[in-house]
Structure 1
């Protein structure tokens, strides 16, 4: 039953992610700054760090599934988030093998993962002419606010789920 908790939490975050902008003050929402909540990705990065072992890829499979759901629910282009989330969680999974799992390394891997995902999304959307934002404007008006907003979410999420995810991982590996 515990293995379904990851999917249920991702589903819950999918719903919350859609309501995220309505929770912010209107002067921030209607400003030039663009923030994209990548809450599912942030949680999946924690799964890649604290749940997956060297030979398991639960985070990647969940990233592919919930990336596709993000595409279906929130975007008009299928496969963009699915591929992006899958690639990023795979990279984080591989990077995690060379660092010790802790708050600092998890924070750095989350920053790298979200920055990489948002940059890949920007490149894809630029390539298919969905966005025409210049690189400088993107970095200043979208990437930095997105990183800041998602790191606030990560700081709130980390103490709530870190120990629980680690115990789930031990339960799966001992079974």
Structure 2
């Protein structure tokens, strides 16, 4: 049953991710700063940390499916988010084995995950010449605001879903 809730929440975040910029003040939206919401990635990182065990990869599969949905709905290049989200979630799943599952470790893994994902997307889009931003411009005008915005989302989301995700994990492990 928990897998259906995870999929429904990912679908909800997919829809809300598209409306995220309309929720911000106009002076921030029309500034030089570019913020990319990675809400599905943040949620799936929480799933990878608190739901998946060492030998299960549910978050990776969700990353594959919902990354493809992001590609279909929001981008013109298929497979970019799908591959990026899948690789980043897999990497964080592996890093999670070295850390205790708590707020500080989850925050660190979320920062690493969002930074790696957004940088990987920038590199791919630069390679296929969709973006012409220099590395310095990207780091200052996109990466830092994206990290800040997604960490605010993580800080809001974490207390709302952490216990429920942990309960779902115990429910699955008891089966």
Asked if these proteins are the same fold (TM beyond 0.5), I'd say: yes
2:47 is equivalent to residue 27 of structure 1: no
Following TM superposition, by how much is the alpha carbon of 1:2 offset from its aligned partner in structure 2, in angstroms?
Answer: 1.9
SS in 1 for 2:130: coil
In 2: Cα distance, 1:3 partner to 1:130 partner: 35
2:159 is equivalent to residue 129 of structure 1: no
In 2: Cα distance, 1:80 partner to 1:3 partner: 24
Deviations 1:18-74 (A, max 9, x none): 000000011100100000000000000000000000000000000000000000000
Following TM superposition, by how much is the alpha carbon of 1:106 offset from its aligned partner in structure 2, in angstroms?
Answer: 0.2
The 5 Å alignment of 1:146-157 reads 146-157=146-157
* 2:159 aligned partner: 159
In 2: Cα distance, 1:93 partner to 1:6 partner: 17
**TM-score, normalized by length of structure 1?**
1.00
In 1: Cα distance, 2:165 partner to 2:31 partner: 37
Structure 1 runs (4+) deviating above 6 angstroms are none
The 5 Å alignment of 1:47-86 reads 47-86=47-86
* 2:93 aligned partner: 93
**TM-score, normalized by length of structure 2?**
1.00
Give the RMSD, CA atoms, in angstroms.
0.3
Deviations 1:61-116 (A, max 9, x none): 00000000000000000000000000000000000001000000000000000000
Count of residues in Structure 1 that have an aligned counterpart in Structure 2: 175
In 2: Cα distance, 1:6 partner to 1:88 partner: 18
Q: List alignment gaps of at least 5 residues for structure 1.
A: none
